[in-house]
Structure 1
Amino acid sequence: MSTEVRNNTALERYELYVDGAIAGYAEYQDTASERAFVHTEIYPRHEGQGYGRVLVEAALRSAHEDGFGALPMCPMVHHFIETRPEFLVLVPHWARERLGLPQ
């Protein structure tokens, strides 16, 4: 199965496509310097297959490439960052304690 993640700026969300069909999305809201991830959803047909990880990783990398830090407000993005310390650097220091992440 082929996967692709696209940033749909009109809807403020990253969309995950599996074999050309949308399989989920990660909604965000931009501030001046951070991209706040507010909701992530993988459609039931695609749950439990690792697509959430694919989507979140691509979205975080894209946000970083666009010059944004990350605010993991949704549980899926929060868990992803919490379990992958290499992505913690994307979360500003001021937000880490508030979000229960390591300093």
Structure 2
Amino acid sequence: MDLASLKTQNNIEKKRFELNLEGAKAFIVYKMGKSGAMYLVHTEVPEVMEGQGVGHKLVRESLEIIEKANTKIIPLCPFVRSFIKNHQEDYQLLLAEGVKL
């Protein structure tokens, strides 16, 4: 699998960011709040793809899509929260007002 050639897509219909992986999908489920902020609820990576950087790529590219859309986030998913905490200098400005990691 050539992870570098894969790109995360926003599946608006299913309300999730998806990364297609040789017949499987890694994804982040989201919900839109009344304020317009996006709640990142759950991340899932197929077991056969764990430990290969798929989750980090999915989160990083999802956050890039969110940033381009000028949307603020509320990360409820522990994996996403941890990623943002470890990369605060890059993603701190995406957090909705009052969100603490």
- TM-score normalised to structure 1 length: 0.85
Instruction: Flag as ranges the 4+ runs of structure 1 deviating above 4 A.
Output: none
Aligned length: 96
Aligned residue type for 1:28: Y
**RCO higher in 1 or 2 (8 Å CA, sep ≥ 6)?**
2
Residue identity (%): 28
User: Would you tell me which structure has more strand in proportion to its own residues?
Assistant: 1
Deviation string, structure 1 residues 20-63 (Cα, Å, up to 9, x no partner)? x3331000011233111000000001000000000001111111
**Unmatched 5+ stretches in structure 2:** none
Find the counterpart in structure 1 of residue 20 from structure 2.
17
Q: How does 1:3-42 map to 2 (within 5 A)?
A: 3-19=6-22, 21-31=23-33, 32-42=35-45
Relative to the length of structure 2, the TM-score reads 0.87
